Amino acid sequence: MKRILLGLGAVLVVAVIAALAALPGFVEGQINRMVDVGPLEASEEAARHHARLNVVDLHADTLLWARDPLERANRGHVDLPRLVDGNVTLQVFSVVTKVPRSQRHTGTDANSDVITLLAMAQRWPARTWDSLFERALYQAEKLHRAEAAAPEELRIIRTVADIDALLAARDGSRPVGGLLATEGSHPLEGKLENIEALYNAGYRMMGLQHFFDNELGGSLHGLSSGGLTEFGKEAVREMERLGIIVDVAHSSHAVVEDVLDIATRPLVISHTGIKGACNSPRNIDDALMKRVAEAGGLIGMGYWKSAICDPAPEGVVRAIRYAIDELGVDHVALGSDYDGAVPVAFDTSELALLTGAMRDADFTEEEIEKVMGGNALRLFRELLPAE
């Protein structure tokens, strides 16, 4: 009987381990899914036009998930083979380090975190289980390992010189650049010195908030609607000193206003919609968007329903057209939020659909080139360290 019980116990342990191993893939398959908006196919003319572009996406959460970014996956939205298929020149990889159980667009508190269980299930190192800072370092390491395994195909972008080298290399092949960013600054864990530590780990863009208020100030979705704290002001100044791009996606209106008041460099809203085109609590007011644009900033337009109301390529392009008309063509870019728990109608391999929808909507050649990546490359050249 004892042997039987031990055998049953071993089987149970194996079953639990197998279930935990399968859980992340199942979860991702449910939340990073595709939505059916009807048949989608880019024309040959659109595909040829798309192949001439430098395409940049300002936000994807791919590094959170238990899959190799170098391998084509059957779930999610981004991996290196699909980036190549989509002719992406540069992908910003944003790391998620804390997510509350409830992710409402308003009134979300910071008292829970589902990433702890995900980290355990994905067998992240124990150091990441109770440290948001270590989670950011670990996800950066994941991209560094991918670059080391495929240096001719993936290049981490830290400087303007890296961008120049990437573009030169793409004259003969199709390497993809990856730029590291944080989804919120809670990985700082209230320590100003952690900004430089993250910079040394390769981070060149930092969001200030995510779905909840943090030490830097209020979230658009949080409880306080507060502005920048004193720590938040010190953090923004330190980011600017180091050459880190400040991202105010998910920040409260008051935080965006406060950052605009003290910033000496343009800001980014990496993934969003625009309220006049889609009246959603996920989007900040058009007037504040205009202030960001007038200060030289860049708005990354998303592809999911609660940001742009219609996730079909034509719907995304309508939101982009509205943003261009309101903010100016030099201040609009792509910010997919791929792999960020958002259902979308097309993944990164299918970005020629956007080029085709822009052509069909009578966008000019210049408008298409700037929105698809030209504006983002210009801003990175302006804001990243030279070398």
| 103 has a pLDDT exceeding 80 | no
As a whole-number percent, the residues of the chain with pLDDT over 90 amount to 88
pLDDT category of residue 259 using cuts at 50, 70 and 90: very high
The domain total for the chain is 2
Q: Are residues 180 and 271 in the same domain?
A: yes
Establish if 248 belongs to a structural domain.
yes
Q: Note the pLDDT of residue 179.
A: 99
Mean pLDDT, rounded, for 334-362: 98
Establish if 377 belongs to a structural domain.
yes
Establish if 43 belongs to a structural domain.
no
Q: Are residues 21 and 76 in the same domain?
A: no
| pLDDT tens, residue by residue, 136-179 | 999 999 999 999 999 999 999 999 999 999 999 999 889 999 99
- Asked whether 71 and 105 are in contact (CB, 8 A), the reply is no
Q: Note the pLDDT of residue 23.
A: 58
Establish if 41 belongs to a structural domain.
no
Q: Are residues 17 and 63 in the same domain?
A: no
Q: Note the pLDDT of residue 30.
A: 76
| pLDDT tens, residue by residue, 111-143 | 899 999 999 999 999 999 999 999 999 999 999
| 12 has a pLDDT exceeding 60 | no
Establish if 192 belongs to a structural domain.
yes
- State the Cα–Cα distance between residues 47 and 85, nearest whole angstrom: 11
Mean pLDDT, rounded, for 241-255: 98
- pLDDT, averaged across the chain: 94
- Asked whether 341 and 348 are in contact (CB, 8 A), the reply is no
Residue range(s) defining the domain that contains residue 19: 1-30
Mean pLDDT, rounded, for 187-203: 99
Q: How many CA atoms lie within 13 A of 184 on its CB side?
A: 30
CATH code (residue 200): 3.20.20.140
Establish if 35 belongs to a structural domain.
no
Q: Note the pLDDT of residue 27.
A: 76
| 5 has a pLDDT exceeding 70 | no
Q: Are residues 277 and 220 in the same domain?
A: yes
Mean pLDDT, rounded, for 292-299: 99
Q: Are residues 205 and 252 in the same domain?
A: yes
Q: Note the pLDDT of residue 225.
A: 93
Establish if 313 belongs to a structural domain.
yes
Q: Are residues 232 and 331 in the same domain?
A: yes
Residues 6 or more apart from 356 whose CB is under 8 A from it? 42, 43, 45, 46, 47, 49, 50, 313
Establish if 187 belongs to a structural domain.
yes
Q: Note the pLDDT of residue 24.
A: 66
Q: Are residues 59 and 163 in the same domain?
A: yes
pLDDT category of residue 269 using cuts at 50, 70 and 90: very high
Q: Are residues 104 and 10 in the same domain?
A: no
- Residue 251's identity, in one-letter code, is S
The tokens for 384 are 């990243």
Q: Are residues 22 and 58 in the same domain?
A: no
Q: Are residues 14 and 89 in the same domain?
A: no
Q: Note the pLDDT of residue 107.
A: 86
Q: Are residues 15 and 57 in the same domain?
A: no
Q: Are residues 207 and 320 in the same domain?
A: yes
